[in-house]
Structure 1
Amino acid sequence: MKTLWKKYEQNKLAHGIFLLIYIGVTSLSLYTAQKSVAAFLLLLTSLLLLYFTKFTNLTKWLIAGFVLVFLLPFTASNGDAYQSYMEVSTLVGIYIAMALGLNIVVGMAGLLDLGFVAFFAVGAYTYGIFATAQASNFMPFGTFPLSGESFWLFIIIGGLVAALFGILLGIPVLRVKGDYLAIVTLGFGEIIRIIFNNLDRPINITNGAMGISSVTPPRLFGIDFLYPSQFYYIVLVLLFFTIFTVRRFEHSKIGRSWKAVRENEIAAQAMGVPLVRTKLMAFAIGATFSGMMGVVFAAKQAFVDPTSFTLLESITILVMVVLGGMGSVPGVILGAAVMTILNLQVLTEMTNWLNQLSLSGIISIPYALSPAKMQRFIFGALLILFALYRPKGLLPAKNRIFIEKDLQGVNRKAKLVTTQEQSENEKLQQKGVQ
């Protein structure tokens, strides 16, 4: 088996043929068996297989775009389960974007944040307040609720407001590290939730524990976005933007500064890395993606209340980052997808299956021990297993490998260029003297 694997490991043609057959079979299965969760998950697994192929990055992006934009919605649309599949896919995209934002703070910069869901709440309430009549309680001008066309502008506004709150969080916690930082950020998340829960008096801004309902849906070219299949494409565009941006940051100067701060703050500062600016940028940029997805979440749910932004949600997002691999963009994407699908589909389907067996008299399982009720226990067991046997996550972070000979060749070329420039400058100076 190892010989066969080594034979086809670098063969792009074999990878392409296998991937084409796999995508074709799983797509046909999902198209013919609409209520098959297994077929839906197998089709999504093709994206993981695509990651391990030897294709170029551009080819991988094109194939992934085709699967997500055209193939998945088309094959899932031939039945009653279409909207449920799109609902799961939309929530997977939302959690992936939030996990990538937290990965900047925790995985790249090494700043343990237990209140990350607060930025998600800020984005959701930013749109929820102005997309309902709630804003008329404290705004002396304007007509509320705003129209659905304002949603597209509020995606940017929600990200900016969340970034502002990220900076406000970062300023007082610059001097604390480790466990103390986790406690401070935990307190920040709870403070934001409690403020939103009690900000219904003396001026009713958030409607308190009752929440904000009837949020105006997005509108584009006269079409209202009401169904998960429509929000799916909004989340998909924002997700591609998030992945592209995070990857660019990862290999940029600021990304290297984050990693330097994560490894050793004193050494990073000695090498000229500004600690204050670097940490604040990590908090602000990570919060931006969460705030943007908060706006989408508020519009999709058409309802916002403080119970959606508890400490448990922050821990769940952190688990996604740890499970996938801290600092690894592909790993965080996989970890967030696995956790979300496990929560929304796999455990639910297992519970329904066991309930059917109980009703048929085949097996008797107490309701308290159903997989849906044991969700946190299962997540905790997964974390323990991964901490013991795969501590770096599903897809650990990889550092770029530089070949010494190539670097020497670049240095030689640079030296030749500088010597040529020096000789030309000397000639110009001699002509000027003459």
Structure 2
Amino acid sequence: MSAFFEKIAQSKKNQIILFLTYVIVTGAGLFLLPDSTIAFLLLLFSILILYYLNLNLRAKWVTGIVILAVVVPFIASFSDSYQTYMEVGTLVGIYCAMALGLNIVVGFAGLLDLGFIAFFAVGAYTYAIFASDQASKFMPFGHYPLSGGTFWIFIFIAAIVAAIFGILLGVPVLRVRGDYLAIVTLGFGEIIRILLNNMDHPINITNGSMGIASITPPSFFGISIGSSNQFYYIAFAIFLLVIYVVRKLEYSKLGRAWKAVRDNEIAAQSMGIPLVKTKLAAFAIGASFSGMMGVVFAAKQMFVDATSFTYLESTMVLVMVILGGMGSVPGVILGAAVVIILRTQVLTNISNWLSAMSSNYGISIPPALSPEKMQLLIFGILLIVFALYRTQGLIPHKNRKVDVAKLKKESEQAALTRKKTASGGADS
């Protein structure tokens, strides 16, 4: 049996055949059992299998995009639960982008942020105020609400506004670290939430605790976007953009500076890394991703209020990062997907199944023991288990492998070039 698996692991052809077989079988299962959550999750599981295949990175990217953008939506469209599946996919995309933003702050730069949801709120309210008649209550000029076409512009405007708030958070916390940093960021998140909840007087900017309703849905060349399957592609596109930027940043000069600060601030500073600029860049860039997804959230819900941006939501995003693996981009994506699917699909379906058992078979199950109501307990247990037995998360962070022979060859060629240049100058 072990020889069989070793043969598969060594052969790319066998891996591709087995992977395609798995996708076809799980896709057929979702087609034949269209309302089966298990079939839907098994098809999504193919993305995790794809990550571990021995294929080149470009092939994995193309295959994953095809599965998520074409295969899953097409097969799910035959189901009565199509919009539910796309709603889950949209939420996964939103929270994956947020978790990647927090991973820059926590995983790369080592700055514990417990108020990250504040930037999500800033992005949501930035669009909600101007995409409803709320802006007309305090703006003396302009015609509101703005059209749905401005949604695409507000994605970038919200990123800039959230980045500014990230800098405002970063400036006062530059001299604190560890537990003190966590307390300050927690306080910042609560301050933003309370401000949004009370900015209805003396000037009514956010409509206070009543929230902002009737938000204009986005439009694309005159076509109104309102269904979950349409927002799925918006969230998916922004999610791909965020992954691209994060991957580029991770191995850039700035990314290496973040990791140096995370490992040892004093050593990083002694090597010439500017701590102020490096930390502020982490807060600003991480916040911008959250602000972008805040716009998508506000447009999708068509209503926002301060209750959607509590400390609990910040904690859940942090759980995604820790569960997946701090500093690991694929791990954070997996952690966010696991948490959202557990919250929206698995625990809800188990609760419904238990309710059906109670009504059909007379099995008395106290409502307080419903898995849907015990989310915090379940996630708390998961964190404890991972803290004890899987400290680096589901997919631990891996440093990029360095080709020592290639570096040595390049170094020798550079030294030879310098020697020739020096000898040429001496001869002249």
Q: Which residue of structure 2 aligns with residue 232 of structure 1?
A: 232
Pairs within 5 Å for 1:73-88: 73-88=73-88
CA distance in 1, matches of 2:421, 2:87: 61
Write out aligned runs for 1:266-277 (5 A).
266-277=266-277
1:221 maps to 221
Comparing 30-39 and 334-343, the one that deviates more: 30-39
* Cα root mean square deviation, aligned: 1.0
Of stretches 308-317 and 405-414 in structure 1, the one that deviates more from structure 2 is 405-414
In the alignment, structure 1 residue 373 sits paired with structure 2 residue 373: yes
The more displaced of 359-368 and 41-50 is 359-368
CA shift, 1:364, in A, is 2.0
- The CA deviation string for residues 17-54 of structure 1, in whole angstroms up to 9 with x for no partner, is 01100011111111221100011101110000000001
Aligned to 2:254: 254
Q: What is the CA–CA distance in structure 2 between the aligned matches of 1:240 and 1:279, rounded to whole Å?
A: 25
Q: How does 1:111-150 map to 2 (within 5 A)?
A: 111-150=111-150
Task: Give the CA deviation at 1:221.
Answer: 1.0
The runs of 4+ residues in structure 1 deviating greater than 4 Å are 423-427
Per-residue CA distance 1:110-139 (angstroms, 9 max, x = gap): 000000000000000000000000001111
CA distance in structure 2 between the partners assigned to 1:34 and 1:231 by the alignment: 21
Say whether residues 1:406 and 2:406 are aligned partners: yes
Q: Deviations over 1:332-385 (max 9, x none)?
A: 000000000000000000001111100012532111101101111111011111
CA distance in 2, matches of 1:124, 1:405: 50
Partner of 1:313: 313
Corresponding residue SS for 2:248:
helix
Q: Deviations over 1:381-405 (max 9, x none)?
A: 1111111110110000001232433
The residue number in structure 1 matching 2:166 is 166
1:425 deviation in Å?
4.5
Q: CA deviation at 1:422?
A: 3.4
1:345 aligns with 2:345: yes
**Distance in 2 between the 1:307 and 1:203 partners?**
21
Q: Structure 2 CA distance, aligned partners of 1:40 and 1:71?
A: 11
Deviation at 1:424, TM superposition (A): 4.5
CA deviation string 1:270-290 (max 9, x = no partner): 111110000000000000000
1: CA distance, partners of 2:2 / 2:267 = 44
The residue matched to 2:292 in structure 1 has which SS? helix
| TM-score, normalising length: structure 2 | 0.98
* 2:419 corresponds to: 419
**Which residue in the other structure is 1:241 paired with?**
241
- 1:382 partnered with 2:411: no
Q: Secondary structure at the match of 2:373?
A: coil
How many Å separate the matches in 2 of 1:421 and 1:355? 81
Deviates more, 1:202-211 or 1:413-422: 413-422
User: Cα deviations across residues 216-268 of structure 1 (Å, max 9, x unaligned)?
Assistant: 00001111001000000100100000001001000111000000000000000
How many aligned positions are there?
428
Question: Separation in 2 of the partners of 1:14 and 1:210?
Answer: 58
SS at match of 1:260: helix
**Structure 2 unmatched runs, 5+:** none
Q: Unaligned stretches of 5+ in structure 1?
A: none
Alignment of 1:287-298 (within 5 A): 287-298=287-298
Paired position in structure 1 for 2:59: 59
Q: How far off its partner does 1:7 sit? A: 2.5
Q: When the two structures are superposed, what TM-score results if normalisation uses the length of structure 1?
A: 0.97
- The one-letter code of the counterpart of 1:192 is I
